[in-house]
Amino acid sequence: MRILHVWDQAGVACIFAKFQIKNGHQSKVIRIEGDKYGIYQFYKDYVTNVQKDEFVDRCLEEARGAEIIHIHGPINILFALRRKFGRSKTIILHYLGTDIRGLNPSEKQTTYDLPSIPSIIKDIIFKKIQGLPLPKDYIHILAQNLADLVLVATPDLIQYVDRAVYLPIPVDTEHFVPDGIPEQKKCALTFNTEVTDISRAIDYCNKNNIHLDIEVYDRTRNPIMYSEMPAFLKRYQIYVDIRYIKQTILKNLSSTALQSLASGLRVLDYQLKYREIFPIEHDPVTLTRQLLKLYTVKNKRFSSYLWYLAFRVSRR
């Protein structure tokens, strides 16, 4: 099977490509160059980096020989692919988090309040005549229905997508492995990132009588290279995985928490419970097998043809 991963978030596409190749398939990741955390240098054997102004054209070029096109976020590429290849290619749309979670509650769609296809087509034609842009939620709805399958990386994202399939994120367990030699370690670690409210997380711990000596490390100002992450994590006993985004606490384990568990740390989760065992559902070998089965699902619903018609009308 020939698989093209378009874009990547947190190394997810790279890990899938690595283990798909181990399964005997042809797989590669194409993305815009830039590597703040050294992920794409680490997985350089599976990645093609291109300049921003070449990205769309190179995606279309690489897609010619691919049987499966797995898009990790950027829906503009999905539109370009459908415009170029029609319905001849199997296209997977994969939401990892902020790419869909960032919609405002008023824009959030569920299976119970989706606009009807006729109303979408009507609005598309009207806005096309008026020269107005489509609302962000309509763009996502259109993209989801043009895809053969929509995947989400965390259970909370299901509410944003009609007929989504939950596929846990993989962790490279060949890179993140337990340290067999016990040594003196610091108490606890948590990361401050661009989107998390770290002061609220610390306050949440204190109010619930969790008094750990927590070191807050700012990854945005001082990036840790992906190759060095296992060794860095192993300096600590506990990873504190309490994340607030827009005053809402996230109820899934972060990638870093999963990497910590795979590296032998304990993790304090949002329920203030300690976890010690790496969840087998994030094993890359198992997930790669599941994903390969999902790739065989082709969207043959009659409504998908109507959505494709709406898309063609919107692009005239």
Helix (H) or strand (E) holding 14: helix 12-22
1 three-class SS: coil
Q: Could you tell me the sign of the dihedral formed by the alpha carbons of 192, 196, 197, 198, in that order?
A: negative
Q: What was the pLDDT predicted at 268?
A: 98
First to last CA, the chain: 34
Q: What was the pLDDT predicted at 302?
A: 45
**pTM of the complete model:** 0.89
Amino acid (one-letter) located at 255: S
Q: What was the pLDDT predicted at 111?
A: 41
Task: Give 5's Cβ-side CA count (13 Å radius).
Answer: 27
Is there a contact between 31 and 3 (Cβ–Cβ < 8 Å)?
no
Region of residue 240 (left: phi > 0; alpha: psi -120 to 50; beta: else): beta
Token representation of residue 247: 């005053």
Measured CA distances, 25 to 8, 11, 88, 247 (Å): 19, 19, 20, 43
pLDDT tens for the chain, residues 1 to 316:
999 999 999 999 999 999 999 999 999 999 999 999 999 999 999 999 999 999 999 999 999 999 999 999 899 999 999 999 988 999 999 999 877 765 444 444 444 355 666 777 677 777 767 878 877 877 888 888 889 999 999 998 888 887 899 999 999 999 999 987 667 899 999 999 877 888 999 999 999 999 999 999 999 899 999 999 999 999 999 999 999 887 889 899 999 999 999 999 999 999 999 999 999 999 999 999 999 999 987 665 545 655 665 666 566 5
Q: What was the pLDDT predicted at 137?
A: 79
Q: What was the pLDDT predicted at 104?
A: 43
Region of residue 247 (left: phi > 0; alpha: psi -120 to 50; beta: else): left
Token representation of residue 24: 């005997």
Q: What was the pLDDT predicted at 209?
A: 95
> 79-136: per-residue pLDDT in tens?
999 999 988 999 999 999 877 765 444 444 444 355 666 777 677 777 767 878 877 8
Q: What was the pLDDT predicted at 108?
A: 42
- CA distance linking residue 16 with residue 62, whole number of Å: 18
- CA distance linking residue 311 with residue 316, whole number of Å: 9
Q: What was the pLDDT predicted at 72?
A: 96
- CA distance linking residue 259 with residue 185, whole number of Å: 17
